[in-house]
Amino acid sequence: MTPLPQEDRYTFADLLQWDDNVRYELYSGVPVALASPSDTHQDISGEIYFQLKSYLRGKQCKAYYAPFDVRLFEEDGESPEDVDFVLQPDLMVVCDKNKVDRHGVHGAPDLVVEVLSPATARYDKIIKLSLYQRAGVPEYWIADPVSRSVSVYTLKNGVYQSPAVYGSNASIPVSVLGACQVDLSTVFP
């Protein structure tokens, strides 16, 4: 692994130059290394991705999975040197193809799904929840392998409402995708 230069603040331009296999997110210019996900994490995110991808076949929206950078607050015309928030959600759906470029997504995805792990739970439940709300992500899911449930936050007037919580035998309606539903009985078998 290449050692990081000692800077006070990093940007997306720095991330693009780092020549190692470690994945990072940037929080206000502070890099946070991401650990590899567990097999349970992979099973959960893989099944949700499969269901979303199957539903979206032939439609305008597209599902993506990590590692895929999201530059939540990037404005049109900004360069990588201007971007200091970069996240890698486990899954996302983007309906505006103009938000996708060769480096990932700039702006808010339509749906973001994070799968909790011991190392990421605090970020997912507090920090990312706040960032996704601030960026205007319309729908945010937090999948919890321990409770075998998914908490669904929907944005109303710029604020996430109290989450609807779905158990392991429920089907979740994906509000940003119309008739799409995710069957949790196959996500948490």
Hey, where are the domains in the chain?
38-68+87-187
CA 105, 110, 111, 114 torsion-angle sign: positive
d(CA 94, CA 101): 12
The pTM score is: 0.91
| 137 CB burial (10 A radius; 0-12, 13-18, 19+) | buried
Domain covering 38-68+87-187 in this structure, CATH number? 3.90.1570.10
Q: What is the mean pLDDT of each run of 10 residues along the chain (189 residues)?
A: 59 82 85 87 97 96 95 88 92 96 94 93 93 97 97 97 97 95 95
Question: Which residues are within 8 A (CB) of 53 and not within 5 positions of it... i.e. 6 or more apart?
Answer: 63
Place of tokens 């290449």: 2
Q: Which residue has the tokens 């089907």?
A: 171
State pLDDT tens for residues 108-147. 999 999 999 988 898 899 999 999 999 999 999 999 999 9
Per-residue confidence (pLDDT) for residue 76, from 0 to 100:
81
Burial 59-91 (b: 16+ CB within 10 A, else e): eebbbbbbebbbbbbbeeeeebeebbbbbbbbb
Q: What integer pLDDT is reported at residue 120 of this predicted model?
A: 85
DSSP for residue 11: -
